[in-house]
């Protein structure tokens, strides 16, 4: 597929997916959502990829939905329903991708941009980034899952503050709230990203996938059910991959595993 609204650089073991509509602050158009979904599928097929980085070209990570399209969709509910289903299918697809997804946020991550951020496993942000929901500021409501993911991420009261007041957080505040993993000066983003990626490059791709799946699915289970799911996942992993045995052997021989 030839991409027009995104850039995909597959460079094992790290792949970078860049939103590439800088003149529109990387707003999520239907075409971009389709291309993002296709790119995510492509990344999963590459066995050598151990981490996916998502970032934005130009002055923003992502400023939300494409407003020109949304204006049309308000007059045609079939367009609105189709768009929101596609957005949410992509975000779930991203969450379920069996490898770490790292968001790198600068500039604006608002509304749909926040919802994209929430679907990443870890996020590094510039300290001066602007992060928030802002739908309520314009008499709108979210459609990409932030009413559901924010309370799970932050707890009900902090989530309600962001959802109902439309408040923006700086990258530094987002770190303090636990909304992003780490906030650094904008000129240190690449350095901080590399620190994180350097810890992932030599890991087992199947191992990362099984850990991620167990951690995410367990959030919606009781503790006992979650632990039972972890045990089940461990057994399946050992039965389907040679990596656990290689890891044990490497530990015994005091060397790095060869995955």
pLDDT band at 11 (very low <50, low <70, confident <90, very high): confident
Contacts 24+ apart (CB under 8 A), 18-23: 18/54, 18/55, 18/56, 18/57, 19/54, 19/55, 19/56, 19/57, 19/61, 19/62, 20/57, 21/57, 22/56, 22/57, 22/58, 22/59, 22/60, 23/58
pLDDT band at 130 (very low <50, low <70, confident <90, very high): very high
Per-residue pLDDT reduced to its tens digit, 137-163: 999 999 999 999 999 999 999 999 999
pLDDT at 1 over 90: no
Q: What pLDDT is attached to residue 40?
A: 97
Q: What pLDDT is attached to residue 77?
A: 86
pLDDT at 99 over 90: yes
Mean per-residue pLDDT, 227-233 = 97
Mean per-residue pLDDT, 228-250 = 96
Q: What pLDDT is attached to residue 223?
A: 97
């Amino acid at each position: 597929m030839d991409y027009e609204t995104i850039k995909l650089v597959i460079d094992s073991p790290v792949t970078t997916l860049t939103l590439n509509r800088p003149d529109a602050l990387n707003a999520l158009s239907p075409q971009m959502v389709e291309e993002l979904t296709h790119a995510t599928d492509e990344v999963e097929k590459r066995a050598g990829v151990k981490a996916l980085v998502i970032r934005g070209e130009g002055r923003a990570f992502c400023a939300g939905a494409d407003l020109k399209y949304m204006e049309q969709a308000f007059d045609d509910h079939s367009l609105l329903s189709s768009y929101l289903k596609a957005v949410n299918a992509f975000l779930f697809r991203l969450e379920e991708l069996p490898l770490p997804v790292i968001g790198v946020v600068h500039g604006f991550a608002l509304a749909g941009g926040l919802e994209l951020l929430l679907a990443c496993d870890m996020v590094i942000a510039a300290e001066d980034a602007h992060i928030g929901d802002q739908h309520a500021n314009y008499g709108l409501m979210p459609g990409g899952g932030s009413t559901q993911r924010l309370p799970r991420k932050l707890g009900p009261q902090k989530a309600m503050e962001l959802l109902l007041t439309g408040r923006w957080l700086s990258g530094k505040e987002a770190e303090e709230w636990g909304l992003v993993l780490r906030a650094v000066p904008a000129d240190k983003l690449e350095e901080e990203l590399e620190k994180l990626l350097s810890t992932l490059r030599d890991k087992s791709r199947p191992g990362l996938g099984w850990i991620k799946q167990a951690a995410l699915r367990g959030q919606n289970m009781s503790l006992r059910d979650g632990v039972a799911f972890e045990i089940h996942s461990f057994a399946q992993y050992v039965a389907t991959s040679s990596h656990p045995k290689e890891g044990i052997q490497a530990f015994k021989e005091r060397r790095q595993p060869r995955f």
